[in-house]
């Protein structure tokens, strides 16, 4: 290796060292540690670690029969204890379409050349995203408070009967829509990414479609969607990963209790409570590794499916 090459290698590692340190300290080492913990019997009592004892796959066997985790689909509807995995999946099925189509609709609106003051609307829609997430959750929690929140006060003001007021996060029928509404608050980033994708579509394609007599739907389906499909795929992947890791909103708004009726005991919240409330390090690690494997499997399936619907410039579309 030439001296210049060694110097470049040294400088490169020097610039990478903060990231490498962070990756080792906060990702790789904790992952290896939790993998080891998942095969041990290890907990904390009064701030003191118990003596580690190797138990093999006992924690994974316990995970399979644990009704609260609920990873066995055969018992999803037979158990009286709400399955945290099923709760997570149900909420994901509700929130995912909103998380994709709502920012896409906003991006299409912001891309309309006839809309006046586009830069103002873009800024307004993006600004909520830069608010720290915890702060925005507290903000929405206050606004949607059933007793003192200004939204219910406004509904009372316009004539809605008090007994008809929505209970928002305290009602089984309203809690998921409430969480979705809170999530819409932060779609500005996804909107901006999709808007960038829309603005990257060559105008010549739209002109050619107009000459061919294509209507708006055919233009969108045959030109716009294929050209922005990588952006949609990116947002879809991040949304699914984020929804399976969902726990901060129920932790703050519902105090991590799972109320109402256990409907908000999401899998990641159950994992968090196992670690930090019950202080069962081994079982918490087992829950974490199962979640990692689920997300990994879903991500692999998404990338496999991408070859059928995601189009990249320069590729022939089948």
Each residue's pLDDT, cut to its tens digit, for the chain (318 residues) gives 455 577 888 888 899 899 999 999 999 999 999 999 999 998 888 677 888 899 999 999 999 999 999 999 988 887 788 899 999 999 999 999 999 999 999 999 999 888 888 888 888 999 999 988 889 998 998 898 888 888 999 999 898 888 888 899 999 999 999 999 999 988 999 999 999 999 999 989 999 998 988 898 999 999 999 999 999 999 999 999 999 999 999 999 999 999 998 999 999 999 999 999 999 999 999 999 999 999 999 999 999 999 999 998 766 555
Same domain, 24 and 173: no
Same domain, 193 and 217: yes
Same domain, 111 and 11: no
Same domain, 244 and 290: yes
Same domain, 33 and 45: no
Nearest to 247 by CA among 267, 263, 261, 262: 267
The structural domain count of the chain equals 2
Same domain, 168 and 111: yes
CA 35 to chain centre: 24
Residue 218: predicted pLDDT: 92
Residue 108: predicted pLDDT: 93
Q: Tell whether 316 is covered by a domain.
A: no
Same domain, 292 and 168: yes
Q: Tell whether 279 is covered by a domain.
A: yes
Helix 188-199 vs helix 225-244: angle between axes, to the nearest 10 degrees? 160
44-45 vs 48-49, strand pairing mode: antiparallel
Dihedral of the CA atoms 4, 10, 14, 17 (nearest 10)? Answer: 140
Give the structural domain span for 14: 1-37
Which structure tokens are listed for 218? 């055919």
Helix, strand, coil distribution of the chain in percent, nearest 5: 70, 5, 30
Neighbours of 8 (CB within 10 A): 12
Same domain, 61 and 172: yes
What pTM did the predictor assign? 0.90
Q: Tell whether 118 is covered by a domain.
A: yes
Residue 177: predicted pLDDT: 94
Residue 117: predicted pLDDT: 81
Same domain, 31 and 170: no
Which structure tokens are listed for 83? 């399955």
What phi and psi values does residue 75 have, to the nearest 5 degrees?
-110, 10
């Amino acid at each position: 290796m030439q001296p210049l090459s060694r110097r470049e290698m040294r400088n490169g590692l020097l610039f990478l060292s903060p990231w490498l340190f962070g990756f080792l300290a906060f990702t790789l080492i904790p992952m290896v540690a939790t993998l080891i913990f998942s095969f041990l019997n290890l907990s904390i009592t009064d701030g003191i670690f118990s003596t580690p004892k190797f138990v093999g796959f006992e924690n994974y066997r316990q995970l399979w029969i644990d009704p609260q985790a609920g990873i066995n689909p055969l018992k999803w509807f037979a158990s009286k204890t709400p399955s945290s995995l099923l709760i997570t999946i149900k909420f994901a099925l509700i929130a995912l379409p909103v998380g994709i189509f709502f920012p896409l609709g906003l991006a299409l609106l912001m891309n309309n050349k006839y809309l006046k003051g586009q830069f103002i609307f873009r800024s307004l829609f993006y600004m909520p995203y830069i608010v720290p997430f915890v702060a925005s959750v507290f903000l929405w929690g206050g606004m949607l408070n059933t007793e003192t929140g200004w939204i219910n006060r406004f509904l009372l003001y316009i004539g809605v009967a008090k007994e008809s007021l929505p209970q928002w996060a305290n009602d089984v029928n309203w809690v998921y829509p409430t969480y979705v509404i809170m999530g819409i608050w932060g779609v500005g980033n996804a909107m901006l990414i999709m808007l960038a994708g829309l603005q990257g579509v060559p105008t010549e394609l739209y002109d050619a479609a107009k000459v061919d007599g294509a209507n708006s739907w055919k233009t969108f389906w045959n030109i716009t969607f294929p050209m922005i499909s990588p952006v949609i795929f990116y947002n879809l992947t991040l949304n699914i990963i984020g929804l399976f890791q969902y726990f901060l909103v129920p932790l703050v708004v519902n105090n991590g209790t799972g109320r109402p009726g256990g409907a908000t005991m999401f899998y990641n919240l159950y994992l968090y409570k196992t670690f930090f409330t019950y202080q069962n390090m081994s079982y918490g690690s087992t829950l974490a590794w199962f979640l990692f494997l689920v997300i990994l499997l879903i991500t692999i399936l998404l990338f496999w499916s991408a070859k059928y619907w995601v189009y990249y410039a320069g590729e022939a579309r089948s």
